Amino acid sequence: MPDTPGNARIIAIANQKGGVGKSTTAVSLGAALADLGFRVLVVDLDPQGNASTGMGIRHEARERTIYDVVVGEAPIRDAVVPTLVPNLHAVPSTIDLAGAEIELVSQFSREHRLKKALAEVSEGVYDFILMDCPPSLGLLTVNALTAAEELIVPIQCEYYALEGLGQLLRNVSLVQQNINPGLRLSGIVMTMFDPRTKLSEQVVEEVQRFFGDLVYDVIIPRTVRLSEAPGYGQPITVYDPKSKGAECYRELAREVALRPPPDEPMPIFDDLPTVVVPAVAATIASPPMDEADLAELPTVRSVMHEAADAEVTDQVEDEFETEQIQDEVVEVVEATIDAAELDEGPAPSAEEIVAADAGRQSEEADARELEETPSVAQALGDPPPDDDDDVWEEVDEPPPAVPRVSAPRSPAPPGQLPERRVVVIDEDAVDYSTAAEAGGPTPSRATEDPHTAVADIGATLEDDEGLPKRRWRLFRKGGE
């Protein structure tokens, strides 16, 4: 950092949605940059004055505000107040500023008010000027985008994270094309990340997919400390300097300080979705985390790394799945052919099976057997279960033996697994069964059978004493 600041980096912190962390980011990033030794001015452009409150500027101290600067054309120096953080100054706002949107409409050069005002302090006074924008795309935001060289967009890790962002970026493009060609989108900061939800990670992935390297690597978590700090009028770096929130904002400050704005104007992001992930992932917001919950936080890079790994795994699983399904189809076709060969006449129709069964049942069934009668739906939909001898009495020869793992839905010839199974890894399971143990034949296509492959993996997991670390259980699909 130079001893005498050169040109300040003028950064608008904007997102037209409220409650995404703009003010928190303006205050925390400002304080963290000041801690690094930079001279920082935070300009509160939101009539709600949250950033002013967060920096501990009491209402009595807001004698001159950004309103006077923008509407009344007071010199900005008159409105600057110090904060409890050395090197961090503020231009506060009050609710009066809400009127500025309307008052400015009829004024000459209305978009340029703030830019002109900042000219007084943009050279040789501050290293960074951060502008906390209101949650709208009105004239105050346009003033900020006109005065700024850079834009930082906080995005909350939530279901509607990208809602309205397309509109904001279209406005940015308009400002870029018509008023401020030098404006650059410097970065996106992911806020209020909750490691307890999958949704948070999906939002990070999705935002990274659209904005790539523009997303800062650090991810700001949703913490109790960060939500408490404004109530004490202290930036997080003062309120709890050792907290995860403070640490993350310090990291963001380093990233912002080290990364210059891009050379190129912002690309057009036309196809931004509103909703990040399917509705299934929408979760009820859980309370912010306290420090104990925050041992391991991901970074954007680590999330993307995991996402890429997961994609590869998915592909492998897809292929595996396809192979299994193909195998199954072959098995079913073979079983059908075998059954047809066994049967000299045409296979009995479902109605015949039901009728024959019902007739026999009426003569000799006891209550227990009655319970075992296949339902009409079963008879129509699936081949009869192997343990129902009554049905198979209708054909000339008994069907081939089928392993009785539990009632399988399709008979299979010897040498083949009766039906698809899935293997479930179960750390606690102590029972260990295979088709062979259950009395069935051994698979003939052992080398290519995925179950055998799985069994091999299971074998490698044995520890030194030869005791399995994990047990494998074979489950029927749809399982027990």
CB within 8 Å of 196: residues ≥ 6 apart? 286, 289, 293
* Residue 162 in the binding site for ligand ADP (CB under 6 A): no
* Residue 137 in the binding site for ligand ADP (CB under 6 A): no
Q: Which is nearer to ligand ADP, 15 or 202 (CB)?
A: 15
Choose one: 19-27, 351-359, 421-429, 435-443; the region binding ligand ADP (CB under 6 A). Answer: 19-27
Which residue in 18, 99, 212, 398 binds ligand ADP (CB under 6 A)? 18
Q: Which is nearer to ligand ADP, 189 or 214 (CB)?
A: 189
Which 20-59 residues touch Mg ion, going by CB under 5 A? 22-23, 46, 50
| From the list ligand ADP, Mg ion, none, partner contacted by residue 222 (C-beta under 5 to 8 A by kind) | ligand ADP
Distance CA 51, CA 86 (A): 17
Look up residue 299 and give its two tokens.
Answer: 């970074």
Q: Which is nearer to Mg ion, 143 or 197 (CB)?
A: 143
* Residue 191 in the binding site for ligand ADP (CB under 6 A): yes
- Minimum Å distance from CB 235 to ligand ADP? 12
* Residue 50 in the binding site for ligand ADP (CB under 6 A): yes
Binding-site size for Mg ion (CB under 5 A) equals 4
- Minimum Å distance from CB 461 to ligand ADP? 41
- Minimum Å distance from CB 20 to ligand ADP? 4
**Which residues in 266-279 are b (16+ Cβ under 10 Å) and which e?**
beebeebeeebbee
Choose one: 19-27, 171-179, 271-279, 358-366; the region binding Mg ion (CB under 5 A). Answer: 19-27
* Residue 52 in the binding site for ligand ADP (CB under 6 A): no
| From the list ligand ADP, Mg ion, none, partner contacted by residue 220 (C-beta under 5 to 8 A by kind) | ligand ADP
- Minimum Å distance from CB 240 to ligand ADP? 12
Q: Which is nearer to ligand ADP, 5 or 21 (CB)?
A: 21
Here's the x/- map for Mg ion, 322-351, by CB under 5 A: it reads as ------------------------------
* Residue 223 in the binding site for Mg ion (CB under 5 A): no
Which residue in 107, 136, 173, 227 binds ligand ADP (CB under 6 A)? 227
Q: Contact 272/48 with Cβ under 8 angstroms?
A: no
Residue 468 CA, distance from chain mean position: 36
Which 275-304 residues touch ligand ADP, going by CB under 6 A? 288
Choose one: 21-29, 98-106, 408-416, 424-432; the region binding ligand ADP (CB under 6 A). Answer: 21-29
Look up residue 244 and give its two tokens.
Answer: 């995860």
Q: Which is nearer to Mg ion, 50 or 197 (CB)?
A: 50
Phi, psi (5° rounding) for residue 408? Answer: -80, 155
- Minimum Å distance from CB 440 to ligand ADP? 56
Q: Contact 443/452 with Cβ under 8 angstroms?
A: yes
| From the list ligand ADP, Mg ion, none, partner contacted by residue 166 (C-beta under 5 to 8 A by kind) | none
Q: Residues in the site for ligand ADP, rule: CB under 6 A? A: 18-24, 50, 135, 191-192, 220, 222-223, 226-227, 230, 288
